[in-house]
Amino acid sequence: MQQLYFDYSDICDSMKQNPNAFFMAVDNNRNIKSISQTLLDLLGLQKEEAVGKYFMDIVPDGKLLEVLKTGHIDEADTLSINGHDTVVTRIPIKKNQQVAGAFIYSLFFDISRAESLIKEYQKNKPKFNRILDQVIGSPNMGYIVIDKEMRVTHVNQTYLDILAKGLEEAIGKPIREVSPYSKLPRVIETGLPDKVDVWSVNGNNMIVNRLPIMQNDEVIGAIGHTLVLDISVPKFLVNKLQETNLEFNVIFQGLIESPYAAYTIVDKEGYITVMNNTYLDIIKKRRSEVIGKHILEIMPHSKLLETLSSGRMETADVWPIVEGRDIIVNRLPIKEDGDIIGAIEHSLVLDISGAKILLKKLQETERELNLYKDEVRAMYNAKWTFDNLKGNSHEFVTVKAMAKQFSQTSSTLLITGESGTGKELFAQAIHNASSRKLGPFIRINCAALPENLLESELFGYEEGAFTGAKKGGKPGKFELAKGGTIFLDEIGDMPLTMQTKLLSVLQERVVERVGGTTPLPINVRVIAATNRKLEEMVASHEFREDLYYRLNVVQLRIPPLRRRMEDLPALVEVLIVRISEKLEINIEKISDQAMELLKKYHWPGNVRELENLVERAINLAHMRDTNCIDWADFPSLMDNNTSYMPGDDDFAPLNLTETVEDLEKHMIVQALEKAGQNKTKAAQYLGIHSSALYRKLNKYGLG
């Protein structure tokens, strides 16, 4: 691959420097060998930060892994990089029939470039004019701008060439005089963008975006931004073919294997030297049946012989490649030292009507995908932030500071600590402080699902993968977490076989659905958590050592509540406010005696147990018709030897049975007072049956 790379690096220079497209090549070790400046700018990287690096670390959604594995072309697909969407093609690089690498290149960018021009227009019209004059000279991009009076204010030479008009015939003229069927007036009238369309002007086919230009919420103009489907690509191929035959042929097969374009090259005698797979598929022939054959033997109506004899370039000719199948083609002579040595035929779009259908489907899919993303975000969102994590103890403050630092990396994180210490709360806070905060936060409890369900939950499944599988299959949590965080709780309880599969996912950064064969790239941060001692589990072969080290890139240990008792008052205060609001109960504080009782407890269940006890106490205090939690509202904290009764400063020890009976009697009296001595209502307040209340009334002499 190294030698292959140096062979074709010079050939790709013009592609790499093209500001309207990007390019990246990788070797079969999955390391980046070449990358264009446009892509580096999008990623915000320098060349030395990308070249030689594992490509998944630089472009996680590149999807080149499947191309490297299968050697198949990945048809035109959308790829998003830092908010910029582009249509890309992924192609294997082959040498001696072996996959030596792969490359990805963009077909065209989205409307972000035009939108940036509009923003400049809104800020400063003169400045916009200067900028626009500089950027609209692209031979591949056509621009035309109109004002709210529907008159042309800007147009570049590319678009003028398409219109077959001079600048003086366009500037200041009504758009319908310049382009009779223009849809820009509709954008002025509606104020809505018309982002993707296939448009034909004077036989030139373009993909066009149309946008309103707004100022102070008013439409003041519109811009049409087009990708011209011209002959720039075959011109590039021809020029390079004229420069060198040997070096160029190494990657020529890869360059021309676009699923949406057909190529044929003949020598000066009309014998076929190159035909790509798309062309072969259309005419239903094998490569061995056409290479070396005369073009008229394979395509009796071919016009390439005319190109050879005339030396003229023919553009946008509608030609029936097979019966019932018309394509739009360009034909160019290939020259060397002024002599014609061959000709190339290249289709722009195989089927314009088909392209329109495809674009319509893409638009519908995009709308559905946006709805789907919104639903995923609504279902899988993280609500906790670092501001919600209360505590001033030294150990807790240190852990919180470490967590904030970890939130700024994308490394896999392992959170350890006893049950109930708040491991998931920390995971959510880290997600919300990270660059992935707009993505989903998805939690999986590895201990709660059986192994067969855990695999399908994590990785998804294809239709027919097992009995009861949904029609169309189902995405797994790793797929749904794209761009966000997946939280693997209780990772220590994951079955060993699943540990093996998870390790593969973390290493390769791809998943395969159950019953599927296609690897799907993932772009997620993994945070795992456990209350078990994984080091001991590794030693006893209960947990894979390699997975442990893969997870334990960064570790965060959450301290138990008993080691941060100085944080208890602040935690109780926060819990009283939050739980009271949730229950719509007016409980405002806790008594000193009750707080002392909480401080004497050892809290084996940590903050989770504290939250449960405070919620129970709030309910009991509400039943007593008070706004203050008292010691009696924590009956479960009484041990076998002593309990505590309220006093001025001292607590008097009582027998447990006596304490419980005294508390029960006290609660019954409170319930009767609240119910106006209505025993049925009092029983409802206490949550017991009326007959049970009557028995207790007799027992305590309250009847």
| 357 pLDDT more than 70 | no
Question: Residues 122, 115: contact at Cβ < 8 Å?
Answer: no
Which are the contacts of 107, defined by CB distance < 8 A and separation ≥ 6?
21, 76, 86, 87, 88, 89, 227
| Residue 373 burial (CB count, 10 A) | 16
At the topology level of CATH, where does 2-109 sit? Beta-Lactamase (3.30.450)
Residue 209: φ, ψ to 5°: -115, 140
Higher pLDDT, 381 or 478: 478
pTM: predicted TM-score of the whole model, two decimal places: 0.46
Q: How far is residue 590 CA from its own chain's centroid?
A: 46
> Which CATH architecture best describes the domain 380-559?
3-Layer(aba) Sandwich (3.40)
Averaged pLDDT for residues 610-615: 92
pLDDT tens, 658-679?
666 767 777 888 788 888 888 8
pLDDT score recorded for residue 658: 60
Averaged pLDDT for residues 322-327: 64
Question: Residues 333, 312: contact at Cβ < 8 Å?
Answer: yes
pLDDT tens, 411-453?
899 999 998 999 999 999 999 999 888 888 999 988 888 877 8
Which are the contacts of 665, defined by CB distance < 8 A and separation ≥ 6?
700, 702
Averaged pLDDT for residues 8-30: 62
Q: Taking the domain 655-703, which CATH number applies?
A: 1.10.10.60
Q: Max Cα separation, the chain?
A: 120
Domain 232-348 falls under CATH 3.30.450.20: yes
Separation of alpha carbons 169 and 159, rounded Å: 12
* Structural domain boundaries in the chain: 2-109, 112-228, 232-348, 380-559, 655-703
Given CA atoms 507, 509, 515, 517 in this order, what sign does their dihedral have? negative
Separation of alpha carbons 150 and 13, rounded Å: 41
pLDDT score recorded for residue 260: 55
- Domain 112-228 and domain 232-348 have a common topology: yes
pLDDT score recorded for residue 111: 40
Higher pLDDT, 658 or 692: 692
Distances, alpha carbon 337 to alpha carbons 234, 341, 345, 521, in Å:
19, 10, 21, 48
At the topology level of CATH, where does 112-228 sit? Beta-Lactamase (3.30.450)
Instruction: Tell me the range of 27-36, 516-525, 573-582 where mean pLDDT is highest.
Output: 573-582
Instruction: Tell me the range of 299-308, 459-468, 659-668 where mean pLDDT is highest.
Output: 299-308
DSSP line for 261-324? --EEEEETTSBEEEE-HHHHHHHT--HHHHTTSBHHHH-TT--HHHHHHH---EEEEEEEEETT
pLDDT tens, 197-237?
556 666 555 667 677 777 667 888 888 766 554 444 444 44
Averaged pLDDT for residues 472-501: 89
